[in-house]
Amino acid sequence: MKGLGREVSALLFLVGMSVTAFGGSIDSPGSPSIGSGMYSMSQVYDYIISGNAMTAQTGFQEPSSAPGSTMKTMKEIGDALKSSFEQCNVTADNVELGKTFFCTLPGSWGVQTGKVCIAGTPTPTPTSTPTATPDWYAQYGPGGGDKVVRIGSMYVAKWTNNAGEANNIEMNWAAMLDWAAGLEWLGKDDWREPSLEEAQGICPAEAQLGAHQPYWYTTTPDGNNSSNAFYVTYSDGVAHSYPKNYITYVRAIRTAD
């Protein structure tokens, strides 16, 4: 039995020697490989909270001291992620077509692409500036053609002895209506005879007419007598009712633009 014990002991020694000889060193045969460095917990946390860039050593390095107070725990990082993600509430139906975003809503978690088609801002069509139309009264009023004068809301023919103010022509009321209705003068065809009120409104500004006949001018019919018309002298504005066949002077007016 003693001999057997010595043989077993010798066998175990040989096995031990074999393991030592063929197992090799468990240490790394060289320096840490490029890219094996890691971000610190603080850098990850700062990136989540503030977007600060993370930097890592080119190779893994053993820490030179125990973690200090500036390190962040996985719980702190997880809480920061949860707080940030829970503020996101858009889906692909809220984001412009083709835009990529990260969605944190249940059922849509992860990188998503927007689906909303947003029309671009239309290019404004150039507009041309219209050519200004010359002011009619500037053309024919005082300082222009000097053929009309504005009195209140009327353009009144001045003393020009032409189409709009037939100074040397007298006519009865019916002829005056035909004359006013057919008058086309200074590019306008809306000339008419004045009403009694309009004729009396001319009287206070008679000096603007340049001159006028000292006798009656035809106006409107006398409402109380269908066979009569009113006639007015511009010097005093007094209305006279006389038969429509009276021969008097005429002066055209039109409503101011």
Q: What is the pLDDT of residue 57?
A: 64
Residue 141 lies in a domain: yes
215 and 108 within one domain: no
Q: What is the pLDDT of residue 19?
A: 45
Residue 169 lies in a domain: yes
Give CA–CA dist 169/175, Å, rounded.
11
Residue 28 lies in a domain: no
211 and 157 within one domain: yes
147 and 109 within one domain: no
151 and 184 within one domain: yes
pLDDT in tens, 170-208: 888 898 888 888 888 899 999 988 888 998 898 888 888
Give the residue, 210 or 20, on which the prediction is more confident: 210
Residue 128 lies in a domain: no
Reduce the DSSP state of residue 9 to 3 states and report it: helix
Q: What is the pLDDT of residue 151?
A: 92
Q: Which amino acid is at 197?
A: E
Residue 193 lies in a domain: yes
Structural contact between residues 92 and 75, judged by C-beta atoms closer than 8 angstroms: no
140 and 202 within one domain: yes
Mean pLDDT value across residues 222-244: 88
pLDDT in tens, 54-91: 777 665 556 666 656 667 788 887 787 777 777 777 77
Give CA–CA dist 104/80, Å, rounded.
14
Q: What is the CATH number of the domain that holds 189?
A: 3.10.100.10
Element (H, E) at 151: strand 148-151
Tokens of 191: 């000339």
Residue 232 lies in a domain: yes
Residue 196 lies in a domain: yes
Residue 143 lies in a domain: yes
164 and 79 within one domain: no
How far from chain centre, in Å, is Cα 125? 14
On the question of pLDDT at 161 being above 90, the answer is no
Structural contact between residues 88 and 66, judged by C-beta atoms closer than 8 angstroms: no
110 and 214 within one domain: no
Count of structural domains, the chain:
3
Domain range spanning residue 109? 88-118
Tokens of 97: 């077509």
204 and 99 within one domain: no
Mean pLDDT value across residues 235-253: 88
Structural contact between residues 196 and 230, judged by C-beta atoms closer than 8 angstroms: yes
pLDDT in tens, 34-51: 556 677 777 777 777 777
Total Cβ atoms within 10 A of residue 232: 23
Mean pLDDT value across residues 128-145: 78
21: confidence class by pLDDT, cuts 50, 70, 90: very low
pLDDT in tens, 93-136: 777 777 887 777 777 777 878 777 665 556 666 676 655 556 99
29: confidence class by pLDDT, cuts 50, 70, 90: low
On the question of pLDDT at 3 being above 60, the answer is no
213 and 186 within one domain: yes
99 and 158 within one domain: no
Give the residue, 138 or 122, on which the prediction is more confident: 138
167 and 220 within one domain: yes
